[in-house]
Structure 1
Amino acid sequence: LTIDAGIITGSPSDYTYLWSTSENTFSIQVTTGGDYAVAVTDANGCTSNRTVTVIISETATIDSIDVIHAGTSSNGTATANVSGLGDYEYRVSLEEPFQDSPIFDDLTPGFYTLYVRDKNGCGTVQQEFSVIGYPRYFTPNNDNYHDYWQLIGTSFTFEPGAQIFIFDRYGKLLKQIAADGVGWDGTYNGNPMPSSDYWFTATLMDGTTFSSHFTLKR
């Protein structure tokens, strides 16, 4: 980085300079952060001092995002792990302001984008992630609303290999569904299942397992 003595009148050649680095030029090159002082003297011997503070900063690198999925709870948590020489702030929604903490609590199941911005203007990086959860009910009546039951936050990108099994109240396996598909339509061997509570177990790709129940409404 080039910093200079910051004179506001005349030409740089009208003055002499002495930096705290012992250099005697109008501008100097620096490679580390810190305070750099310079004494500027005019032809009459009058001297003024200036201190330039250099802050080293750079765009962040997102190393990982640790997610505690909602599972059987209502919401999940995400923690951003970043590296770099900057002073960073974070958000997971364009509608929300940036925050200093890399931890986000009470995230409803679904898809998110983490934004990490350097406070000194060196740029913003982003990365998508998901919080896994499940709907508490579905209504397979072909009205295009809640017609299928599926984990929330799964897709071809996130948890495509998760294993999901659906059972009736007696423990009979009714369906195994793919996490990157539309889900269960409420039938068994082509026959509509009655309104009732049903159970499921889900094993995510990192080995996380949870189970609970949901309601089929007709």
Structure 2
Amino acid sequence: TVVYTVTPTYNGCPGSPIQIAVTIHPLPVPEITDGVICTAGSAPTQSEPYTLDTNLSPATHTFQWFFGANLIPTASGSTYVATQTGTYTVIATSNAGCVSDPVSAVVSEMPRGESLIIEPSAPFSDDSTITVTVIGGGGPFLYQLDGGAFQSSNVFHNLMQGTHTVTVVDANCTNLNGTAEIINFPKYFTPNGDGFHDTWNISGVDGSIWIFDRFGKLLKQISTDGSGWDGTYNGRELPSTDYWFVIDYAQNGAGKTFRAHFSLKR
């Protein structure tokens, strides 16, 4: 507030001074931003509207909202939920009577990804991969594995055995998750009693495994749903070296056999 003093003068004779207080109020500045209505399928009820927010207090402001050039008579709050694509404009008036400039935002439409098809590579692949296909949505999509960095490719390479979590997002509407099991075998184990990699087994598949030394002697037969091999033969600890295995398992109803070797490290 600024106080001005005015002294009137008539024919050289000064009059009584008058004080005039002038209060300056800032203009309101509503801040609505462009946004997207997320759609899924063809039914309007499946769409997710977009909320335009002025970031001004409704306790100290009133608002006029427009869709295109037309006033929206039912809209008077600091926010407006847009259910149609187009240009929205808002004018804010403060309790002091100051009127903002019109501020506009464009609301567009974007389909939401609906589900994921997650395909792991065949068991015991040299390059274990997961390929992700998004059903629905318009993209572009970003793909994440096990909470790591997002990537633009829908294929993940050189994966370890076990269960992996995939997340797919786009800029506005899609956030989907799923899991896939990579079936492969541990390349080594360390039976030293520390609770880490103390036994060797293959998970994620039903089957029987035969373990041999380098001369072809059968050392152990185990099941994939058992506790695994602890690196002993007849109660005696075997030395650090490579050991061979054969696994018989079922895939899509067909019997399969796979052979390879792994390392015992002490």
* TM-score under structure 1 length normalisation: 0.62
CA shift for structure 1 position 204: 4.7
1:66 equivalent in structure 2: 120
- Structure 2 residue 60 is matched with structure 1 residue 6: no
- Structure 2 residue 187 is matched with structure 1 residue 126: no
Identity rate, percent: 37
1:22 equivalent in structure 2: none
- Structure 2 residue 254 is matched with structure 1 residue 201: no
- The Cα offsets for residues 86-115 of structure 1, whole Å up to 9 and x where unpaired, read as 42321113231x223211123233431011
2:200 equivalent in structure 1: 149
Count how many residue pairs are aligned between Structure 1 and Structure 2: 178
- The Cα offsets for residues 132-173 of structure 1, whole Å up to 9 and x where unpaired, read as 33333333233434321223xx2xxx32x1332211223233
SS at structure 1 position matched to 2:113: coil
Of 68, 85, 96 in structure 1, the residue corresponding to residue 137 of structure 2 is: 85
C-alpha contact (below 8 Å) 1:86/1:119 kept by paired residues = no
2:165 equivalent in structure 1: 113
1:22-37 aligned at under 5 Å gives the runs: none
Q: Which blocks of at least 5 consecutive residues in structure 1 are unaligned? A: 14-28, 38-49
2:260 equivalent in structure 1: 212
- The Cα offsets for residues 6-39 of structure 1, whole Å up to 9 and x where unpaired, read as 247x8347xxxxxxxxxxxxxxx87xxxx979xx
2:229 equivalent in structure 1: 184
Instruction: Indicate how the Cα distance of structure 1 residues 213 and 147 shifts in structure 2: closer, same or farther if over 3 A, else same.
Output: same
Instruction: Indicate how the Cα distance of structure 1 residues 12 and 60 shifts in structure 2: closer, same or farther if over 3 A, else same.
Output: closer
Larger radius of gyration: 2
Instruction: Indicate how the Cα distance of structure 1 residues 148 and 12 shifts in structure 2: closer, same or farther if over 3 A, else same.
Output: closer
CA shift for structure 1 position 184: 0.4
- Structure 2 residue 217 is matched with structure 1 residue 172: yes
Could you tell me which amino acid in structure 1 is paired with residue 185 of structure 2?
Answer: Y
Q: Which blocks of at least 5 consecutive residues in structure 2 are unaligned? A: 1-43, 51-64, 74-82, 88-103
CA distance in 2, matches of 1:83, 1:201: 38
1:26 equivalent in structure 2: none
Instruction: Indicate how the Cα distance of structure 1 residues 5 and 140 shifts in structure 2: closer, same or farther if over 3 A, else same.
Output: same
CA shift for structure 1 position 185: 0.7
CA distance in 2, matches of 1:167, 1:72: 22
CA distance in 2, matches of 1:217, 1:66: 29
CA distance in 2, matches of 1:148, 1:184: 5
1:95 equivalent in structure 2: 148
Instruction: Indicate how the Cα distance of structure 1 residues 196 and 61 shifts in structure 2: closer, same or farther if over 3 A, else same.
Output: same
1:18 equivalent in structure 2: none
RMSD over equivalenced CA pairs, Å? 3.7
Of 109, 125, 132 in structure 2, the residue corresponding to residue 55 of structure 1 is: 109
Instruction: Indicate how the Cα distance of structure 1 residues 68 and 7 shifts in structure 2: closer, same or farther if over 3 A, else same.
Output: same
Instruction: Indicate how the Cα distance of structure 1 residues 143 and 63 shifts in structure 2: closer, same or farther if over 3 A, else same.
Output: closer
- The Cα offsets for residues 39-77 of structure 1, whole Å up to 9 and x where unpaired, read as xxxxxxxxxxx9x775341233113323255x374x521
